[in-house]
Amino acid sequence: MKRKLIAAVGVAAMMSGIAACGGDSGNASKDPKDRSEELTVWLMVDAQSTWPELVKDVNAQFKKKYPKVKVNVQYQQWADKAKKLDTALGGDKFPDVVELGNTETMQYILNGALAEIDPKKYDNSDTWIKGLKDTCTFEGKQFCVPYYAGARVAIYNKDMFKAGTGSDALPQTEAELLTALDKVSAEYTKKDKRFSSLYLPGRYWYAAMSYVAAYGGSIAEYDEGAKEWKGNLSSAESQKGIEHFVNLVKKYNKADITKDEQDHANVMANEKTALIYGNGWEAGSVTDGANNGNPKLEGKIAPAGMPGPEGKALPSFIGGSDLAITAKSEVTDLGQEWVSLFTSEKSMEVLASKNILPNNEKQLEPLKAKPETAAVANAVPDAWFTPIAPGWTSIEKDEVLENMLLAILKGTSVADAAKKADDEINALINK
């Protein structure tokens, strides 16, 4: 598979710009104290809200070596970052360093928008978490640096489980969990018919695909013979996982089953559910009074491994972010050095101290035994990831998986909905 271009006007413009502007300014050989360029860094708001001291410290380290180089850190929102980035890369004001969600990276790698990096220049690159490293890798070359990881776990209300089952611990197997959910449901729906012992929204495709992975299915598979990706949701294994997920939604979610997961932490904060399947950090969101959480639940909300079918833990989607240097940047060496500082072992220690999963197995290991992070850290090794295919972003943009799940919830058979989704995936995934 060769690098391909996505036929969007903005991307075409971006590529034109890359051809004209790529490379560095030729100042790399100068004494660092004599460098006077500017370095623009795009980070997501998570860094601004949760680890601003890390950004400040890294900028201070950088300034010590390059006192005349101006670093402009600009914080972006996830909702419009991709659109802004495409526009910026097609123009003259673009970032030199950019944070990308790990499902976004392949599109920009294939577009030629990211500069190749040398992993040897970054701490712990020999133990980078594989699921993150893979999102930065194409044809054996590395185009971005893993930043942090995330995985989904069970987040539950201990008091509600104790009231329903007599124990505030989350059951270890799915069979035991379902029995417990029935008891919790019986206890709380006496007062509130809309109470969901498990709040599992029907369009929550990350959760649905975890059940697909649990049965050995997948969204798509790469055909080595045809040298292309093909949708795999119609396989028996995938259909079994989809059906399992839909049955859980229908039985335990007493709220609007056609929603997605965006507000599930808020639903738990409002004490309308005893269990959600969310990112590990969302346990904190449930009790965060400054952000629509409920401080009264402090100490009552806990993360735990999510039991899955057939006596095994539910495979979790590995999310997270990567950092890349844009191919258009004229200060690629400065960008690489800033990213090196921002992803150093020292920097990863700061993230780990905040219960954010670091980018490497070495520093992940202690978090597997830490009560606050054990569930999510232990979910990483068996985690699954979306197909690393050129058209994956288009599939997400067209909401192919969400629409498939919604169709099933409205009465379409799993087989028919999966077949339609496969057809749509096949039309997009190799472009």
What 3-state class would DSSP assign to 323? Answer: strand
Task: Decide yes or no: CATH 3.40.190.10 for domain 152-317+388-427.
Answer: yes
Q: Is it true that 38-150+318-380 and 152-317+388-427 share their CATH fold? A: yes
Q: What tokens does 128 get?
A: 């980078």
Q: pTM for the complete prediction? A: 0.78
16, with CB counted inside 10 A (0-12, 13-18, 19+), is exposed
Q: What is the pLDDT of residue 9?
A: 30
> What residues are paired with 322 via a beta bridge?
100, 146
**Alpha carbon distance 347, 58 (integer Å):** 8
Q: What is the mean pLDDT of each run of 10 residues along the chain (431 residues)?
A: 36 38 63 93 91 96 97 92 93 96 89 95 95 89 94 94 97 96 97 96 97 96 94 98 98 96 94 94 86 93 92 89 97 97 98 91 93 84 84 89 98 98 97 86
Looking at 3.20.20.70, 3.40.50.720, 3.40.190.10, 3.40.367.20, the CATH number of the domain 38-150+318-380 comes to 3.40.190.10
DSSP 166: S
Q: What is the pLDDT of residue 115?
A: 97
Q: What is the pLDDT of residue 24?
A: 55
Sheet strands (E) in 350-400: none
Measured on CA atoms in the order 388, 394, 395, 396, is the torsion positive or negative?
positive
Q: What is the pLDDT of residue 20?
A: 36
**Alpha carbon distance 108, 88 (integer Å):** 13
Using alpha carbons only, give the angle 112, 115, 119 rounded to the nearest 5 degrees. Answer: 130
Q: Please report which residue ranges of 260-344 form alpha helices under DSSP H.
A: 264-269, 282-287, 332-342
Where do the domains of the chain lie?
Answer: 38-150+318-380, 152-317+388-427
* Nearest to 41, CA basis, from 151, 147, 141: 147
Q: What tokens does 64 get?
A: 């010590």
Sheet strands (E) in 214-298: 220-223, 228-231, 275-279
Residue 378 vs residues 106, 213, 216, 381: alpha-carbon distances, Å: 26, 17, 20, 7
Using alpha carbons only, give the angle 68, 69, 73 rounded to the nearest 5 degrees. Answer: 135
